[in-house]
Structure 1
Amino acid sequence: DALQALKTGKVDISGNISIELYRGLQNSISAKEIFSRPLFIWYDYICCPQHATAFALRQMAVNSIPAYVDRCQFFAILCPHVRHEADNVLLNKRNWASRGWCRMEQMAQELSTKQRCVSIEIHGATHVVEAPTYGWIQAPVGGGQFTLPSDRDKLAPVVQDMVRRKLHAYLARGDLASYRMMLNMQNVHYRNLPLNPVDDILPGYVSNNQDPATALMENFMYQNGFDSIDQRTADGWSPMCFAALDGRPLLLAALLDNGADVNDRVTQQSSSNNFGLCPLVHICAFLSHNEALQLLIDRQADVKARDGYSTTALAWAGFSDNVAGIHALIAAGADPTMLDMIGYAPFALASSAGAISSMTALLPYTPRQQIDKSLLFTMLQGGGSAQVVSTLVALDADVNHQASTPLLSPLGIWFGCLSLRHQLNESKLSAYAYHYEGLTPLMCSILTSSYEATAVLLGVGARTDLRNARGKTALDLARDRVFVKEIIEQVTIIIGIYSK
């Protein structure tokens, strides 16, 4: 139904506000582009043998999944709101993203050799959006849910082969920056899988050193193409920064013992990764390298350091739902009430990522005002699920809170610029900024297409008569977006699903 609606022009692929927020990119794909030439559709479930006795054929199919995904120009995620008939479990995008097999396919898409493979989410026949892809490193295959735990063993060699092929592809085209990122993220990608990092991509390293730490450090320097600990790439990355990505305490300790700075940081901003201007503690906290994080703390790292957006390591830990990291940082003196440059505390960052466990850990330190602000922020960042919004409502967040920000604050200046752009080049983010003053959570859910949040807010009695500074109600904003039928349909479906 969704494909038919797209093909006939009844609906189009809408942009994703979080993609624009993090990458500065507006909608990059349209239905017209998809159907500009004949399509061949590969559907994983149909193309993989499902019979219980087809072991050999099924393993061959599993091994070939990355090759099929690699040939795809478009990667479609079918994630409508439905209940599973057998066990009554609610199925949606978050359920899809929690499954180990789905994570493997998403990883295959991210490691594709194609320069451009666009992901789209199909939530219903009239609700199709471009899918953000930058969060995939937080969802390693081994951390996903498997009906059969033994499936991790089947997928492990497939995952490692994908990583190895991508590393060789980066080297072949001389992309050393991406090569180093992938090389040192292996411990994240292999988490909960029976795998060790590939440490011989560049042949020729020979060591006679009997000390394991020194041998590890020397090979690390060789594989990354560094000659000295003080060296730094054009993107501002030192060996110590890459070691924080790697996360092995023995490696970090060896570098520190040889003169590396425990308070080192990435010195340049970059659109190619999320770690621009980040201190080491931020990187370790975000990637849940908690033994490495504790080592840095023990070596007197500054746990109150801020990144380029004045965000603390505690906020990064909250965003990635790293509860152990939160406890370690607070025990070391990190302040959970410190705000970033636009006025948000770590709790708000955790809620924006849908990190319920981190929200619980940070709640005792969070002022009431931050809980109210989190309702808006969680939808802007793409974390406005029914569970998160219901949690905030249960914490007495004001469902009729109206947003306001000083004109000359960093957020006010940024939104002012976006509002000016809105007159010439409208997007989801510019519309959010244009209507921000006086915006209620219900209005925000409409502007960000967070329809689960819309359903929850209507269910708890959020007011529909309130107007923002532009004189608009939530219904006005729905009409302005020309998607009022889609919104009503999606909210009705979600209310029906959650009321069962």
Structure 2
Amino acid sequence: MYVVKVSDFLEMEGPPEPHHVLKHKGLLHEWHPGMFVIFISHQWLGAGSPDPLGQQVSVLRHALQAFIDGSMKVEVDLMRTFGDVGGATGCESVAQGHLFLDWFAIPQLTERTKGVNDDSTVSDTARAVQSIPAYVESCDMFVALVPDLVHNDTGLQCNYSTWLSRGWCRAELWCRLLSNRKDTSVVVIFSAREALYIVPLDWQKNLISDGLFTVERDRSIVVKLGETALRSKIEHLQRWGPLTDYRFHLAQEPRLLKRKQQGFEDLHSFLQHFDFNSLQAAVKHESGMTGMLCSMLAGDVGILQVLAENGGDVNARVSGLDHLGYSDSLTLLMVAAYVGQDPKVLSTLMTLRADPNLACISESGSIVTASWLASQPEHVQVLLEYRADFAMSPPLTGVAGVSSVNTVKAFLNARCDPGSLSPNGFGPMYSAPFFGRGNPDCHSIMQLLLSARGDVNAQAKPRGWFYWECMRARVSASLWGLEACSVYKRQMASLPGATPLSIAAVTGDQRLVKLLLENDAEHVPNDRGDKPEDLARAAGHTELLPILSTFCV
């Protein structure tokens, strides 16, 4: 395993040099236990070189330097995070650390020097690729480098959502999150001024088998890496615990590996599979993975019905799963909608008297219902059949940022209004750019909302707790300046009076910015007086400035 010193990397300039050049210069070092190593996962911006113009590595250099001098810290995303972030490795070790970047570390077939034996190079590369899980396991910090940039050959945008779509990137992510290290947190670098921990559902919803591969024959190899990582995680949890995490991964295994979910032969086999010592233990409502949750996530409606008939509470609120991405107080029905469970699971729950209109209050003050979390278009019809109240908390606000374009279309067909606002004053025109970073359908969803007469220049008017949180952030921005604020405070301070264009600018989505400008978005300042270009600059998304100035009148 070859790595490069962070101190040497910070002195480099321009596009990254390949393995054999750095090896000749003496800048590659063999890994040994005790090294602090940062694994860099990234999407290539060229066919023959990962970063032909050196744009990605420039962002990385600035971000690493900011970690070292303390001007930037890794923050928890507003949509929550995965893993024990409180115990994650701090950035104080970065200065003396080393980097693992594929172009540096792995012999490249595209960059052979004269006299190098082809068979030897191919063999080294093959062994290195197969060793990726071990490389990830050996690294102390995992970074997804995802600034919004243009691919040198295709001209397509490359950003967080496209990184999530790549099969190899998904495999690296799975290897990290399914490793048996105590710290499995993932840092996502969006710009030189923005680094966040990954959102839990961003890995659970992105299956390796569905990923995009430049070389199609890689798919079967990479899928096996993912299967091995998941099986290893389950076996480790079975032996060492915690039991909640073991049951969670076991229940999710068929879906994560895209295998047909097989029903259990009988109740006994279910209880044995999930390590419940009795039926009473399975129906008991307690913190963690209850029997009701296990059967729901496993998609076994027969067992679900048996448990409900024996005292299982179909309206029970989950607890103790926050670290896995499921907030306390979500209902079974909400979780089923959120994970994209088969519609028959939702209909079974509601047949068993699960209430589709039970709600919980999110940290931002939104009233969250099962409709708010729907992730399949078929969910919409099922919820309507069981009298879900779409007026109670407009579901488009929830689904516009994280669901599919077909699900949003289904809600629009059910006469949901793109201009409707949640009780906290937030609506779908804002949630699409604000929460859509990891959503490949975000651009199409915004087009759909605009075609349904969503107001491209509507200004956000936060209410209640949400408003006061924004006001507190504005005080910090006034005292220290927007650029010096944390990501959270910058985003909160920017929201009052923000248009969809302003939000797209602060999150750095080039494609969305262009779409909004093409649909007559104006450079309307927010309540602080910040225009979209000011917000883009403060967040470090300077690549947006030429686009915004071109459309500015």
- CA deviation profile, 1:120-148 (whole Å, cap 9, x unmatched): 44567x57633524221111222323467
Is the Cα–Cα contact under 8 Å of residues 84 and 91 in structure 1 kept in the other structure? yes
CA contact (8 A) 1:48 1:62 kept: no
1:400 pairs with 2:457? yes
Paired residue for 2:411? 362
1:368 Cα offset (Å): 4.4
Q: Which moved more, 1:238-247 or 1:377-386?
A: 377-386
Q: In 1, distance between residues paired with 2:282 and 2:187?
A: 42
Q: Which amino acid aligns with 1:402?
A: Q
Render the CA deviation track for 1:11-45: whole Å, top value 9, x for unaligned. 99866887145259999999974641141424179
> Are 1:100 and 1:145, in contact at CA under 8 Å, matched by a contact in 2?
yes
Q: 1:260 to 1:58 in 2, by over 3 A?
A: farther
Output one character per residue of 1:372-422: Cα deviation in whole Å (capped at 9) or x when no partner. 93222223324485444444333332222122234xx34334445555676
Residue 286 (structure 1) aligned with residue 338 (structure 2): yes
Equivalent residue, structure 2, for 1:428: 487
Measured in 2, the distance between the counterparts of 1:77 and 1:279 equals: 32
Q: When the two structures are superposed, what TM-score results if normalisation uses the length of structure 2? A: 0.70
Taking a change above 3 Å as real, the CA distance of residues 386 and 18 of structure 1, as seen in their structure-2 partners, is farther
Give the SS at the match of 2:144: strand
- SS at structure 2 position matched to 1:129: strand
Aligned position for 2:290: 238
Q: CA deviation at 1:158?
A: 2.8
2:371 alignment counterpart: 314
1:353 aligns with 2:408: no
AA matched with 1:315: W
- Structure 2 runs not aligned, ≥5 long: 1-57, 111-117
Equivalent residue for 2:467, pick from 403, 408, 412:
412
How many Å separate the matches in 1 of 2:392 and 2:162?
33
Return 417-426 or 450-459, whichever deviates more: 417-426
- 1:303 equivalent to 2:356? Answer yes
Secondary structure of the 1:369 match is coil
Residue 186 of structure 2 aligns with an amino acid whose one-letter code is S
Alignment of 1:82-93 (within 5 A): 89-93=156-160
Change (3 A) 1:213 1:428: same
| Aligned residues with identical type, % of pairs | 20
The 5 Å alignment of 1:134-213 reads 134=200, 135-146=202-213, 153-192=220-259, 212-213=265-266
The farther-off stretch of 236-245 and 47-56 is: 47-56
Residue 171 of structure 1 and its aligned partner are, at CA, apart by 4.6
The one-letter code sitting in structure 2 at the alignment partner of 1:159 is G
Structure 1: state its 5+ residue gaps.
200-210, 340-344
Alpha-carbon distance change, 41 to 467 in structure 1, aligned in 2, over 3 angstroms: closer
Superposition deviation, residue 108 in structure 1: 0.9
In the TM superposition, residue 257 of structure 1 has moved relative to its aligned partner by 4.1
Separation in 2, partners of 1:368, 1:389: 10
Deviations 1:317-347 (A, max 9, x none): 1xxx3222223222332233331xxxxx211
Letter in 1 for 2:416: T
Q: 2:270 aligns with which of 211, 217, 221?
A: 217
Answering whether residue 386 of structure 2 is matched by residue 332 of structure 1, we say yes
Tell me the amino acid that sits aligned with residue 246 of structure 1.
A
> Does the 8 A contact of 2:494 with 2:526 survive in 1?
no
Question: C-alpha distance in 1, partners of 2:181/2:522?
Answer: 47
Q: Distance in 2 between matches of 1:243 and 1:494?
A: 50
Provide the rounded CA distance (Å) in 2 between the counterparts of 1:96 and 1:67.
Answer: 21
Q: How does 1:119-134 map to 2 (within 5 A)?
A: 119-121=186-188, 129-134=195-200
Q: Structure 1 pair 329/16, CA: closer, same or farther in 2 (3 Å)?
A: farther
The structure-2 alpha-carbon separation of the partners of 1:286 and 1:57, relative to structure 1 and needing over 3 Å to count, comes to farther
Aligned equivalents of 1:363, 1:370: Cα separation in 2 = 12
The offset of 1:352, in angstroms, is: 1.3
- Closer, same or farther: CA 112–189 of 1 in aligned 2, 3 Å: same
* Rounded Cα–Cα distance in structure 2 between residues aligned with 1:276 and 1:297: 21
C-alpha distance in 2 between matches for 1:274 and 1:490:
34
Q: Which stretch of structure 1 is more off in the superposition, 237-246 or 412-421?
A: 412-421
Taking a change above 3 Å as real, the CA distance of residues 43 and 440 of structure 1, as seen in their structure-2 partners, is same
Using the TM superposition, give the Cα deviation of residue 50 of structure 1 relative to its aligned residue in structure 2, in angstroms. 6.4
Equivalent position of 1:264 in the other structure: 316
Partners in 2 of 1:91 and 1:142 — Cα distance?
20
Cα-Cα RMSD: 4.3
Distance 1:188 1:16, change over 3 A: farther
Does the CA contact (< 8 Å) of 2:418 and 2:429 recur in 1? no
Out of 287, 303, 307, which is 1:255 matched to? 307
| Range moving further from structure 2, 266-275 or 428-437 | 266-275
Letter in 2 for 1:367: D
- Structure 2 residue 133 is matched with structure 1 residue 76: no
